[in-house]
Amino acid sequence: MSRSVTTAQRRLLKEYQQLAKDPPEGIVAAPISEDDLFVWECLLEGPPETPYENGVFQAILNFPKDYPLSPPTLKFNPPILHPNIYSNGTVCISILHAPGDDPLHYERAEERWSPVQSVEKILLSVISMLAEPNPESGANIDACKLWREDRETYNKLVKEQVKRSLGL
């Protein structure tokens, strides 16, 4: 790291150290390189008793230079089928939306990003989102429709993705 360490870099290093010391179950996350604390690779285990169970899903967390004032973005790679994940893999969840009032009035300000959030809280929220989709605020309209109208097919497609995530 350079001599002029930013507030964001100090915060990210602290969060990384905390996650490494006491990782939540089902979550592995770390910067891809010690030279760039702004890009993290994550492995998230699918929540039990959901179609995502036993899956291990890769995602990339990209932090803005003004973190923690602005939220990071989280993108599954490869993308996974879910009402709140865009078809390109980008997660759409309140905790990752810019702070303040929602111009569309779907979310309360306290549900959105604030600097007190952490990487751990983001990743736990994403696992919770996998378990409990919010089809009212969908990012992937096809997944929302399938989830609402044909849960059996939806679950079957997700379980196929779980197998692929494990290389099966």
Distance CA 81, CA 68 (A): 29
pLDDT at 105 (0 to 100): 53
Residue 5: pLDDT above 80?
no
Contact 166, 55 (CB under 8 A): yes
DSSP, res 71: -
109-163 residue pLDDT tens: 566 677 888 999 999 999 999 999 988 878 999 999 999 999 999 999 999 999 9
Q: Which residues have CB under 8 Å from 23's CB, separation 6+? A: 29
**Among 5-9, 32-36, 144-148, whose mean pLDDT is lowest?**
5-9
76-94 residue pLDDT tens: 999 999 999 999 999 998 8
Catalytic residues: 92
pLDDT at 86 (0 to 100): 96
Contact 112, 102 (CB under 8 A): yes
pLDDT at 114 (0 to 100): 79
Average pLDDT score, the chain: 88
Question: What domains sit in the chain, N to C, each tagged with a CATH number?
Answer: 7-166 (3.10.110.10)
Tell me the whole-structure pTM to 2 decimals. 0.87
**Among 38-42, 91-95, 98-102, whose mean pLDDT is lowest?**
98-102
